Chain A
Amino acid sequence: MLDDDLRAQLADWVAPLADLPRPDISTLRRRTWRRRMRGGAATVAAAAAVAAAVSIATLPGSGRHLVARGGTPAAAPGTWYPGRWFAAGKPPAADASVAAAPYVVRVANGAEVVTDVFTGAAAGTEGRPPGGRFAAVAAAGDDRTFVLAAQTGMSVSFYEQRLGPHGRPGSPALVFTLPASSVPAFAVSPDASLLGYATPGGIGVVSLTTGARRSWTAAAGEVVGLSWAGDKALAFAWAGTAAGEIRSVTVRLLAISPPGSRLMAARQLVPVCANSNGQLCLEQHPLGAAGGPKVFVTDQFNGNGTLVADVEEFTGDTGRIVFGDKSLPNSPAAASACSALWTDPAGEQLAVYCAGSTTIVGGRAADLHVPINSSDVQNQTFAW
């Protein structure tokens, strides 16, 4: 019997099963609920071994290339579309006020809306991409260049878009696609040449200019937030896991120039912290300054029974806390919704969103109209 004969016979034999009615998803929910009520069913060993085929690569000083060196090319999946990338404009001057960055992009209902934060007026809108919907957005350093992610079937497409005069959105250009069933956390470098994204158990970086890729992996954990701190380092929040449970949360700074693929070789900026009851602090939403090396981190912690939050600033050079306790509202409602939204290239000024309002720390006070809610930061549906 030929292989093809056997293949055909098997396919014919089971073909009627493909026509069986698919139960409603509520059936699955009931099964899940019943198992929980029983106190947990036997855990199936999850398969998902992460293939860590990683190259040793280096990033030249221009920050525009990821070049394999002394090994196989990076095996991170994805499709790069040459010739579509365009560089970000010059970032605002280091001493520029927040007024130099008036445009924010928010994704809503699969489309994007550009808003001027000083007037609150919509500068423009862009409809859904072909065959999908925008799901998340990240900003480069110039306040004009953004990367939007769209879910299309079982892949995620990244579109680069530059705002025109008065914040009017141009046509999004497809620059990269990634096989993934949902949009990962991602960030675009200040000069818009590199796209960093979370992978199962690690981080991938693709050069939008050359298509070269690198990846870094770790044994057990998840990247829960990403931000570039300059064009050569990625700040990321890392949740270390064991048996599917989060055991630690740290913030690390990954220099992408040195060779190597161990994610845990990235320097730890913020160590694990827990209260006296062993409850972990949640250090998340890292926000790097475009000029590097400063990184702001939102830290939510449970102290004395009250959830509080602060935004702390670290230097990427030393890993030292420069200052903390940024006088943020100290209530559960505020703390659960605090995050750093924007900083100038030097990291001197910081826009912080807390409990429905946005304030500028370290800079000129301004009347801001930031059209977001707390879930926008969490879901990365907002970028400034």
Chain B
Amino acid sequence: MSYYVAAAQDDFTEFYKANYSRVVTLVGAMVGDRHQAEDIAQEAFARALARWPRIARYDLPEAWVRRVSLRLTIDASRRMRRAALMAPLLAGRPREDKSDPLAATAMTQALMRLPLAQRQVVVLYYLADLPVHEIARDCGISDGAVRARLAVAKRRLERELSEDDKDDKEVPDAR
């Protein structure tokens, strides 16, 4: 049965083109790793493709992809923690990867020191510009919990970034 009538495949291609960069950016901000972000974003879109006839009828298909990405980020974090391969993500030491634009920046280090749950609300609020109630729905928590996580995360980020700033100023000129 055909529930919706447009050429589904063409629709998905347009949807994918329009949203891929946004999703990979959001995921990248959450995991602090370019390759991990690309992998998660592609997986989320692949799942959307497999279910496209249904997802295409949602008011906001991109919200579905975003939520899947959030889940995949959590899954990846758990997997890596178990395998002890996620030292950068968990311990705040991003892998040194010259091809990764996120590697070894102060923002990466500051963000990666936050627990993943706080990181997610920070990224969704400050980067994706989502309202609190939508973040709450995405993360499966209450509005109050979102606000609380935001407040704590912001304080920690301020502290981390100002310390990094101070460290930079104290580093003597190598020449």
Contacts and interface: CB of A to CB of B under 8 A. Distances in A.
Interface string B27-43: 01100001001100011
A181 B48 CA distance: 13
A380 interface: yes
Contact of B13 (A25, A35, A198): A25
Contacts of B72: 44
Given A1-B161, A25-B16, A31-B42, A47 B137 contact: yes
Nearest to A46: B64
A127 B64 CA distance: 34
A22 B20 contact: yes
Contacts of A48: 55, 58, 63-64
Interface string B119-131: 0001100110100
Contacts of A47: 63-64, 67-68, 137-138
Given A35-B46, A47-B67, A154-B15, 13 more contacts: A1-B161, A7-B126, A10-B123, A14-B25, A17-B101, A22-B16, A27-B42, A47-B68, A77-B59, A149-B5, A181-B56, A182-B6, A199-B57
A245 to B, nearest CB: 11
A28 to B, nearest CB: 4
A30 B22 CA distance: 22
Contact of A154 (B18, B57, B64, B158): B18
Contact of A7 (B7, B34, B127): B127
11 contacts: A3-B126, A9-B161, A13-B102, A20-B21, A22-B17, A31-B46, A47-B63, A48-B58, A185-B4, A222-B3, A223-B3
Given A20-B24, A179-B59, A244-B54, A9 B11 contact: no
Contact of B1 (A16, A49, A182, A224): A224
B118 interface: no
Indicate the member of A183, A282, A378 with the most B CB atoms within 10 Å.
A183
A380 B154 CA distance: 51
Contacts of B20: 22
B94 to A, nearest CB: 12
B54 to A, nearest CB: 7
A154 B129 CA distance: 19
B140 to A, nearest CB: 9
A274 to B, nearest CB: 15
B5 A44 contact: no
Q: Which of B3, B43, B138 has the most CB of A within 10 A?
A: B3
A36 B47 CA distance: 11
B50 interface: yes
A327 B15 CA distance: 44
Given A22-B20, A28-B42, A151-B11, A180 B59 contact: yes
A365 interface: no
A243 interface: no
Given A1-B154, A180-B57, A17 B28 contact: yes
A20 B68 CA distance: 21
Contact of B5 (A1, A11, A179, A380): A380
A20 B38 contact: yes
B93 interface: no
B105 interface: yes
B8 interface: yes
Contact of B25 (A17, A29, A136): A17
B92 interface: no
A216 B3 CA distance: 17
A135 interface: yes
A239 interface: yes
A9 B107 contact: yes
Interface in B91-111: 101-102, 105, 107-108
Contacts of B71: 44-45
Q: Which among A13, A185, A239, A379 has the greatest number of chain B C-beta atoms within 10 A?
A: A13
Contacts of B90: none
B132 interface: no
Q: Which of A49, A200, A223 has the most CB of B within 10 A?
A: A200
A181 B137 CA distance: 21
B116 interface: no
Given A1-B157, A46-B64, A154-B18, A13 B58 contact: no
Given A14-B28, A23-B42, A378-B2, A182 B107 contact: no
